[in-house]
Structure 1
């Protein structure tokens, strides 16, 4: 039995996707669960598994082509099945051809009736023959029929002559390409969507930004202790992002509006904290989501985030791993960035921009000491989160990082 492989859905905001790579080729044997091809959505590169078994008989779209959701991209079955499919397609095409011919003949007959010789007199003396359709189009486009008459060779001006005249008048001069000081790179689908989403976010949500410096001395000690005495035996390595996820989920308890999204009639406040972690790839930023962070231990958060980051780098993410985020963390500390601001990932209402940890002089008990300092800059959607909510939330994040034992309460 012939099985049709359709382009899957890429999410609510995606109606077409790019076929990036075929992992199977025509003639290959395919088993259920085999990865057939990879697609690039507006969020990530995803793999598509086969639900059918048999031989890959036909690939309808090559790599590098945009395909609409629901389109048939491949056929799997037995070789004899393909002959039957071709016969059915030929029959359908013949029926469509006959239908198009009948419609075209009807249009032509109607046009012939309308395109009758109708004289038009201009400047009191010169007679110009034009069809009613031509005169109507000339009037709409504000074209002098005398100019068209000098342009065409026939005695009767028709609608097609007006259209051809318009095309000739609007042709732009061809510029000769010369060597220049720049070159072009094609935008990926991900990059196009990032540009669109960031513009929409700034146009939709009135951002405001606040920033704090955090003494990471205690957090560093806790991370080292966890990695040395416990989690390393499980094959896990806690990152500062993992600690920050746990801290953010705890801080949301005192500021639930930070974990919400805006609509005109109601605010949608989420009970679970689902944190997206912005990961840089060659094609753009991808944000896998760790779900239910508020219900997980640091070990569980570390395991989930490590797995997601690995799947991003290996192009193995599923759509469910990219959806449902309520807060995003973007960390550029590994690039030597001390502080920056980030644009909110709609429809979320908060994004935390995390800088690198660096040694700085600070005053502790009236004495100047050197401490490991990290900056966190939060961008909030002012439609939901006022300064009286955002500031205490960020202060709570700092308090928990500087005294992580408070996470136990």
Structure 2
């Protein structure tokens, strides 16, 4: 359908679901931290692994592995507060990642939950991401799901209240933490700040070359722009800062990547 040269298209049910998610997430007490992390060592080790094996490991899988290990050391960030004011702290780190794949002939980012990431290797996480990317349509919904997306918006948005009402149900459906990679859609540095319904979300931005002190001399290093988002209703500033420091240490030391 067109009008005076403009094309008018219907909003897809999936897009309505995204709108519902963002509107609900915007009502949370989210705090965003913009962090720069030196990933020179990690990228060099990834290149070495590719040269030795002929296969490149996913950078996102590496970050997910570091995230899960950091949460093992600071489990209070892997928690949700329910409607009774109780805090549910989960042992398993179930990471919801944004994966670029083909849906109905188009390349787009879709969610996929990596279960128990804190008990898995980078290789295991990488293999599951690759399998999800090669799936024909990992977001195909059953008929009941399709009908649910056609309900009035005020009813549809109730599902995104699950983290505040029933944390265990939210864990089963959507994981406990989220990672989204804006950097996979472009080149160069830069941050992205997005609302979220998770207590903790990492948004992987771009990687740029910047001067940094290394071994007493100024050298050019690969620097990752990373946004760390917390729900301040669950996580206070000091625990959040300690978690970010541990995450930085693991990423900069190329945790999980053999020498």
TM-score, normalised to structure 2, is 0.76
Q: Deviations over 1:12-52 (max 9, x none)?
A: xxxxxxxxxxxxxxxxxxxxxxxxxxxxxxxxxxxxxxxxx
1:381 pairs with one of 231, 244, 247:
231
- Find 1:272's aligned residue among 74, 86, 92: 92
Determine the C-alpha separation between the residues in 1 that align with 2:37 and 2:50: 21
Rounded to whole Å, the distance in 1 between the matches of 2:12 and 2:93 is 31
- Distance, in Å, in 1 between the alignment partners of 2:120 and 2:140 is 21
| Alignment match, 2:203 | 353
Q: How does 1:8-407 map to 2 (within 5 A)?
A: 180=4, 182-203=6-27, 205-230=28-53, 232=54, 237-264=56-83, 265-280=85-100, 282=106, 285-311=109-135, 314-316=136-138, 323-334=173-184, 335-336=186-187, 338-344=190-196, 346=197, 348-405=198-255
Count of residues in correspondence between the two structures? 221
Structure 1 gaps, min length 5: 1-177
Q: With a CA cutoff of 8 Å and minimum separation of 6, indicate the structure with the bigger relative contact order.
A: 2
Q: Is the 8 A contact 1:237 1:302 kept in 2?
A: no
1:256 CA drift (Å): 0.9
Contact 2:62/2:256 (8 A) holds in 1: no
Counterparts of 1:196 and 1:304, CA distance in 2: 28
Shift of 1:339: 1.2
**SS of equivalent to 1:361:** strand
**Structure 1 pair 276/389, CA: closer, same or farther in 2 (3 Å)?**
same
Separation in structure 2 between the aligned mates of residue 249 and residue 327 of structure 1, nearest angstrom: 9
Higher CA-based Rg: 1
Instruction: Name the CA shift for 1:184/1:369 in 2 (closer, same or farther; >3 Å).
Output: same
Task: Check whether the contact 1:190–1:283 (CA below 8 A) recurs between aligned residues.
Answer: no
| CA distance in structure 1 between the partners assigned to 2:226 and 2:121 by the alignment | 23
> In structure 1, how many angstroms separate the alpha carbons of the residues matched to 2:213 and 2:130?
36
Gaps of 5+ in 2: 142-171
User: Normalising by structure 1, what TM-score?
Assistant: 0.50
Residues 174-195 of structure 1: CA deviation (Å, up to 9, x unaligned): xxxx954643221111100100
Q: Name 1:121's counterpart in structure 2.
A: none
Q: Distance in 2 between matches of 1:400 and 1:269?
A: 22
1:255–1:393 CA contact under 8 A, matched in 2: yes
Quote the RMSD (CA, aligned, Å).
2.6
Following the alignment from structure 2 to structure 1, what is the Cα–Cα distance between the partners of residues 59 and 91?
24
